[in-house]
Amino acid sequence: MAAPRDRLPLAEQVEQLLAVDGPLPIVVVGDPVLRRGAAPFDGQLEPALLARFVEALRRTMHAAPGVGLAAPQVGVPLRIAVIEDPAPVPEEVRLARGRVPQPFRVLVNPSYEPVGAGRAAFFEGCLSVPGWQAVVARHAQVRLTGADEQGRAVDELFEGWPARIVQHETDHLDGVLYLDRAELRSLSSNTAVAERWARPTPDEAARELGFELPD
């Protein structure tokens, strides 16, 4: 009898995942892997396997589609995430949310800390919580540290929507979902967001649903 995938060494888990063509299956809320802190990456995957895994994360993120994906979201408890955002949004939305294009990049062992006291609140969703969105107040600017897939150090400031993306994906590596930080009175189906709350800011939703936004 084959061993369950989550009892195999990480390299074997990843090899099994990559044995199937196409996007990787995305783990959804309720799976314990999303609630456990991921292990720091320290060479558990040899370079060629790491490169294949990163490419599979990229393909899966694009297919979903999403702007970020963390390894635990495909069942692999390692501190690795990918982000990419072409930011195809109207100018009004870009200005309100600070959403600017982000190139594809790999985050290995990332962590963040706030820069300043500013916070911004917007609707946010997650590929592991399909069908729903909620307003989350996050740090408006963060300092992200860690490494890339080549082991080169990353130490960079992010602000606006890119700061939101790196916070969301790094939280996944700590077993934190956006729902843990959300204003639950704002919780809305994707349909409701599209039909009622498709505004550059969530001000109207806050008034109608009865929750407060940060100053």
CB neighbour class for 124 (10 Å; exposed up to 12, middle 13-18, buried from 19) = buried
| Per-residue buried b or exposed e for 4-25, using 16+ beta carbons within 10 Å of the residue's own CB | eeeeeebeebbeebeeeeebbe
CB 87 within 8 A of CB 161: yes
Catalytic residue status for 84: no
Which residue, 51, 107, 64, 56, is CA-closest to 82?
Answer: 107
CB 100 within 8 A of CB 87: yes
The number of CA neighbours under 13 Å toward the Cβ of 6 is 13
Q: Single out the catalytic residue among 169, 183, 195, 204.
A: 169
Which residue, 183, 171, 184, is CA-closest to 36?
Answer: 171
What lies within 8 Å, CB to CB, of 18 at 6+ separation is 52, 53, 56
The kind and range of the H/E element at 172 are: helix 160-173
Amino acid 162 reads P
**Dist. CA 180–CA 174, nearest whole Å:** 12
Catalytically annotated residues: 169
